[in-house]
């Protein structure tokens, strides 16, 4: 198992390196110049390029950047003057992560519950009702459902604040809007997985033995239906914890989401690189954890790894 | 399911029992679109940063609104006859917000030299002071720059061209900065509450990046009683539809709108427009050299440009694609100071004049020795937003219908747009410019002078150069605005740019709010607001 994990770690490091290199050169291909401005004096623009080292050849800039990266220095943001990329991520990521995690936990629980209900009531009205919800959840983008909820719950009913961050009340709406797609996706995935598991021999046997329904559902059907869904956990958590430009802008949440868009719009090179490397590392780490988790949950994988080691 | 539904209902009731927002008596919540990014005087450029600076930092002279300038950190000043040398006498006993650090004349000199520091390349570097460009270019030492400390309370500035009271309201060049703290935190002093020492009526208490900035009274301000509010909360991102919802939900007090529907919604809710001002003049920038040699032949012909200008109905644009904006009939907007000096001037009818346009087109074709069929297709460049594309589609339609001129719309990314504009890779480009103080000379019209020739405008004309020089050399605003009127007329009649509309910003607040104004530079001041 240790060799398996080590192998995965080495692949993860190589992935981040390739990601950083590819991003650096692709970023330089974006047309434009971060200092090109119609209001700043031409002489000042020229000096700014020199100040940030953008007058040097791209390959030289790459080696300088990678050298700094190895020392943990992601540089200063070009647009947020005086703030390091590390500071920006350290300040904004916990906000996005908190919102994302709450949203993810709620979405997983509700999605799985709905999926189980759909499977148990297959072809009956609860199945149809929840599947309609699932289709709507996937089809309706957050930029539609968000303002609708904000208007209904914040303006008309005044039971929740329309924007802001900090209190429990301020989390409810954005967490729901952010997690709606995940709820819908999980409902459909769990339903399909449950339906497949329900026809397995061991489930039939459990039912034939006369086990209570909840035991059959939880211990045999749900547990085994979960295995194929775990593979999506890593990217799912990473994606939702990195923040959403739309949801964070709509509810005025000071998270990381808007930086992914703003950094590119502003051609803030250090921030583009910092965010990509951070996201990449986070995603690769979570995938690594899921791979390891898989080994623990699915005995077949554990055995395969052991067999390969022998 | 019933139980689940009951739980959800119970949750909603629980939530409604908790306070949604505070209704503090002497706190005002102001909506701003973007995070200030930095409060470093040498770098500030966003509206939110300017708003915070306006309440927390003071310059030598203060803009009191309506074109009135009053003593700020300087209690008095004298100027030379040609208005190129200004001597300021600071108030005695001034301190920064920490209450200990004294403000001296040296702090003003340090701030100016820091902004134009050749090693730092600050975004707000500007070169009106004698010797400043040479210093910035590394050709001269700092002591050659025209700022002189006479003693702790007296300093003198020397300018290349005459200056006015409004010149000294720029904090980037004429604010006071404590060298010790900036030297200690050279990169971060303007982005951290702990290091941002200020000297205005309010000071920054808290700054949550991309969320809010909280200002409180500065007890060490020399005239602390002028600050009437206990707290000003700047809510970042509160603009547009979000701001409307926040106002309707009672979460926002002051915000500005340009969109007529949003404005109407908040007015229906009982809010009123407290002040309106021109945010920008919109229109088509003209590349007088043309994108290609073929188009350049026509772009350099004044009669051809006159034809295009008169073929546009600004009235129709305002009714269809530029809703909420005002049809422009000249360069200078009504809220700009030079407008009042020449209010009756009308450079073109806002309804357009297709017949006269055709006459000018025929003259142009005759001068160029071509027929209408030989006129090339011109490029109309804009940022790839639907609003911009719609505007250009309207222009395209009007030029085709009135004159038979064909164009192609080139919607590009913002980076491409700036890059193409600066390299002259366009024929017409849809864009706006912000009005400036005391007028648009340095900020806009200077770009058409031979001295500052760039590919962006591709324009050079001796008569214009002479008028420009005469305007900026005027030693009083009255004299300047008289010449500015000729300069503006030259701009409009020779169609240096095609101005179509003025974007007007409306600041809304509850009916009872009073004592708020917008400075000549377009920044809201709520220092002495009463609720």
Check: CB of residue B129 under 8 Å from CB of residue B113. no
Place of tokens 């509309």: B501
From the list A50, A160, A250, the residue facing B15 with the nearest CB is A160
Q: Which two tokens stand for residue A240?
A: 């939702």
- Average pLDDT over all residues of chain A: 85
From the list B35, B133, B251, the residue facing A161 with the nearest CB is B251
The terminus-to-terminus CA distance of chain A in angstroms comes to 11
Would you report the helix, strand and coil content of chain A in percent, each value rounded to 5? 75, 0, 25
Which three-class secondary structure state does DSSP give residue B272? Answer: strand
pLDDT value at residue A303: 67
From the list B136, B236, B415, the residue facing A31 with the nearest CB is B415
- How are beta strands B378-383 and B326-327 bridged, if at all? unpaired
CB contact under 8 A, B190 and A82: yes
Nearest chain A CA: its distance from B250 CA (Å): 9
Nearest chain B CA: its distance from A117 CA (Å): 10
Distance (Å, whole) CA A170 – CA B422: 45
The terminus-to-terminus CA distance of chain B in angstroms comes to 49
Distance (Å, whole) CA A298 – CA B446: 72
pLDDT value at residue B8: 45
Place of tokens 């709406």: A173
Nearest chain A CA: its distance from B335 CA (Å): 21
Report CA torsion sign: B352, B355, B359, B362: positive
* pLDDT 10s digits, A277-302: 998 898 888 888 877 777 776 666 66
pLDDT value at residue B5: 40
Place of tokens 């650090």: B101
| Close Cβ partners of A210 (under 8 Å, ≥ 6 residues apart) | none
Distance (Å, whole) CA A24 – CA A127: 48
* φ, ψ (nearest 5 deg) of residue B527: -55, -45
Q: In whole angstroms, how far apart are CA B210 and each of A80, A95, A244, A251, B245?
A: 11, 11, 14, 12, 19
Q: Which two tokens stand for residue B174?
A: 């004429």
Within a 10 A sphere around the Cβ of B95, how many other Cβ atoms?
A: 16
The string over A80-91, giving b where at least 16 C-beta atoms fall within 10 Å of a residue's C-beta and e elsewhere, is bbbbbbebbbeb
Which three-class secondary structure state does DSSP give residue A295? Answer: helix
CB contact under 8 A, B121 and A83: no
Q: Which two tokens stand for residue B296?
A: 């350049």
Distance (Å, whole) CA A69 – CA A278: 11
From the list B202, B32, B68, the residue with the least C-alpha distance to B519 is B68
Q: Scanning every residue of chain B, which has its alpha carbon at the shortest distance from the alpha carbon of A171?
A: B15
C-alpha Rg value of chain A to the nearest Å: 24
Q: Which two tokens stand for residue B528?
A: 């002495």
From the list B530, B7, B18, B12, the residue with the least C-alpha distance to B274 is B530
CB contact under 8 A, B20 and A91: no
CB contact under 8 A, B245 and A37: no
Q: What is the value of pTM for the model shown?
A: 0.85
From the list B123, B235, B236, the residue facing A40 with the nearest CB is B123
pLDDT value at residue A47: 80
CB contact under 8 A, B245 and A91: no
Chosen from B211, B412, B457 to mutate, greatest number of chain A CBs within 10 A: B211
pLDDT value at residue B33: 92
* Residues in chain A closer than 8 A to B246 (CB atoms): 162-163
pLDDT value at residue B187: 79
Inter-residue long-range contacts of B72-78, CB under 8 Å, 24+ positions, other chains counted: B72/B168, B72/B169, B73/B103, B73/B176, B73/B199, B74/B168
From the list A295, A119, A139, the residue with the least C-alpha distance to A191 is A119
Distance (Å, whole) CA B488 – CA B372: 31
Distance (Å, whole) CA B169 – CA B153: 18
* φ, ψ (nearest 5 deg) of residue B18: -90, 150
- Which stretches of B121-270 are assigned E, i.e. beta strand? 147-151, 154-158, 202-208, 212-217, 231-236, 255-257
Report the DSSP beta bridge partners of residue B95: B102
* Residues in chain B closer than 8 A to A41 (CB atoms): 125-127
pLDDT value at residue B12: 46
Residue B276 burial (CB < 10 Å; 0-12/13-18/19+)? middle
| Close Cβ partners of A59 (under 8 Å, ≥ 6 residues apart) | none
CB contact under 8 A, B245 and A79: no
Mean pLDDT by 10 residues, chain B (531 residues): 46 46 74 92 91 95 91 95 95 93 95 92 88 92 94 95 92 92 86 89 93 95 94 94 94 93 94 91 94 94 96 95 92 87 93 96 96 95 93 96 96 87 93 87 90 88 94 91 94 95 94 92 92 88
pLDDT value at residue A306: 62
Is the bond preceding residue B438 a cis peptide, omega within 30 degrees? yes
Nearest chain A CA: its distance from B12 CA (Å): 7
pLDDT value at residue A271: 93
Check: CB of residue B507 under 8 Å from CB of residue B253. no
Q: Scanning every residue of chain A, which has its alpha carbon at the shortest distance from the alpha carbon of B209?
A: A254
Check: CB of residue B159 under 8 Å from CB of residue B130. yes
Would you report the helix, strand and coil content of chain B in percent, each value rounded to 5? 35, 20, 40
Q: Which two tokens stand for residue A243?
A: 């923040």
Nearest chain A CA: its distance from B417 CA (Å): 8
Q: Scanning every residue of chain B, which has its alpha carbon at the shortest distance from the alpha carbon of A258?
A: B210
From the list A44, A79, A91, the residue facing B209 with the nearest CB is A91
- What is the 8-class DSSP label of residue A229? H
Least confident of A139-148, A192-201, A228-237, B436-445: A228-237
Distance (Å, whole) CA B286 – CA B119: 35
Chosen from B43, B249, B447 to mutate, greatest number of chain A CBs within 10 A: B249
Place of tokens 């957050």: A142
Q: Which two tokens stand for residue A177?
A: 């809007």
Q: Which two tokens stand for residue A115?
A: 């999926």
CB contact under 8 A, B126 and A48: no
């Amino acid at each position: 198992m240790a060799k398996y994990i080590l192998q995965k770690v080495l692949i993860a490091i190589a992935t981040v390196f390739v990601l950083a290199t590819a991003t650096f050169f692709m970023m330089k291909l974006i047309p434009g110049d971060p200092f090109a401005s119609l209001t700043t004096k031409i002489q000042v623009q020229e000096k700014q390029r020199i100040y940030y080292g953008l007058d040097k050849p791209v390959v030289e800039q790459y080696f300088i950047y990678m050298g700094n990266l190895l020392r943990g220095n992601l540089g200063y943001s070009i647009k947020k003057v005086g703030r390091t990329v590390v500071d920006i991520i350290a300040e904004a990521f916990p906000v996005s992560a908190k919102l994302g995690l709450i949203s993810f936990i709620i979405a997983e629980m509700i999605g799985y519950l709905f999926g189980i209900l759909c499977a148990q009531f297959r072809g009956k009205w609860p199945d149809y009702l929840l599947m309609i919800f699932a289709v709507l959840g996937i089809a309706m983008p957050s930029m539609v459902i968000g303002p609708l909820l904000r208007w209904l719950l914040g303006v008309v009913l005044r039971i929740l604040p329309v924007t802001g961050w900090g209190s429990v009340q301020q989390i409810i709406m954005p967490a729901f809007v952010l997690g709606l797609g995940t709820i819908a996706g999980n409902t459909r995935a769990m339903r399909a997985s449950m339906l497949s598991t329900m026809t397995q021999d061991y489930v039939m046997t459990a039912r034939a033995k006369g086990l209570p329904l909840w035991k059959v559902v939880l211990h045999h059907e749900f547990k085994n239906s979960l295995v194929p869904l775990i593979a999506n956990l890593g990217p799912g958590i990473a994606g939702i914890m990195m923040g959403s430009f739309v949801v964070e802008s709509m509810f005025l949440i000071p998270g990381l989401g808007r930086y992914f868009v703003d950094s590119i719009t502003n051609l803030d090179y250090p921030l583009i690189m910092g965010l990509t490397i951070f996201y990449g590392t986070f995603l690769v780490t979570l995938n690594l954890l899921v791979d390891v988790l898989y080994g623990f949950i699915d005995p077949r994988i554990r055995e395969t790894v052991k067999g390969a080691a022998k | 399911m019933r139980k689940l539904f009951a739980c959800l209902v119970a949750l909603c009731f629980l939530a409604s029992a908790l306070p949604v927002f505070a209704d503090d008596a002497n706190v005002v919540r102001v909506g701003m679109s973007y995070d200030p990014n930095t409060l470093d005087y040498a770098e500030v450029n966003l509206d939110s940063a300017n708003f915070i600076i306006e309440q927390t930092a003071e310059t030598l002279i203060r803009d009191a609104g309506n074109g009135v300038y009053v003593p700020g950190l300087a209690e008095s000043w004298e100027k030379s006859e040609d208005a190129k040398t200004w001597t300021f006498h600071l108030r005695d006993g001034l301190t920064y917000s920490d209450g200990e650090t004294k403000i001296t004349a040296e702090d003003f000199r340090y701030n100016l030299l820091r902004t134009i520091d050749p090693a730092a390349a600050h975004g707000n570097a500007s070169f009106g002071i004698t010797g400043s460009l040479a210093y910035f270019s590394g050709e001269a030492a700092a002591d050659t720059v025209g700022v002189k400390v006479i003693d702790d309370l007296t300093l003198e500035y020397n300018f290349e061209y005459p200056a006015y009271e409004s010149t000294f309201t720029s904090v980037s060049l004429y604010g006071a900065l404590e060298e010790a703290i900036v030297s200690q935190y050279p990169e971060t002093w303007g982005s951290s509450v702990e290091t941002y020492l200020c000297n205005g009526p309010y000071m920054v208490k808290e700054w949550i990046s991309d969320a809010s900035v909280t200002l409180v009274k500065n007890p060490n301000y020399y005239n602390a009683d002028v600050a009437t509010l206990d707290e000003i909360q700047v809510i970042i991102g509160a603009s547009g539809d979000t701001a409307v919802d926040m106002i309707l939900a009672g979460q926002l007090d002051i915000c500005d709108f340009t969109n007529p529907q949003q404005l109407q919604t908040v007015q229906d809710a009982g809010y009123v427009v407290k002040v309106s001002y021109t945010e920008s003049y919109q229109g088509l920038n003209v590349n007088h050299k043309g994108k290609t040699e073929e188009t350049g032949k026509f772009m350099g012909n004044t009669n051809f440009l006159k034809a295009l200008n008169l073929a546009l109905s600004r009235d129709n644009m305002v009714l269809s694609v530029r809703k909420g904006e005002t049809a422009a009939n000249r360069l200078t907007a009504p809220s700009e100071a030079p407008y009042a000096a020449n209010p009756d001037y009308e450079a073109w009818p806002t309804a357009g004049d297709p017949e006269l346009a055709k006459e000018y087109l025929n003259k142009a074709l005759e001068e160029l020795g071509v027929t209408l069929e030989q006129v090339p297709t011109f490029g109309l460049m804009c940022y790839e937003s639907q609003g911009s594309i719609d505007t250009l589609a309207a222009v395209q339609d009007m030029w085709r219908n009135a004159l038979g001129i064909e164009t192609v719309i080139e919607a590009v990314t913002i980076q491409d747009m700036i890059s193409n504009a600066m390299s002259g890779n366009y024929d017409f480009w849809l864009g706006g410019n912000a009005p400036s103080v005391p007028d648009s000379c340095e900020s806009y019209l200077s770009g058409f002078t031979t001295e500052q020739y760039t590919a962006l405008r591709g324009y050079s004309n001796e008569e214009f150069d002479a008028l420009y020089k005469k305007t900026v050399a005027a030693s009083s605003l009255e004299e300047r605005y008289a010449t500015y009127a000729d300069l503006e007329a030259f701009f409009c009649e020779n169609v240096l740019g095609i101005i179509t509309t003025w974007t007007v910003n409306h600041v809304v607040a509850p009916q009872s709010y009073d004592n708020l104004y917008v400075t000549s530079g377009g920044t809201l001041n709520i220092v002495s607001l009463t609720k």
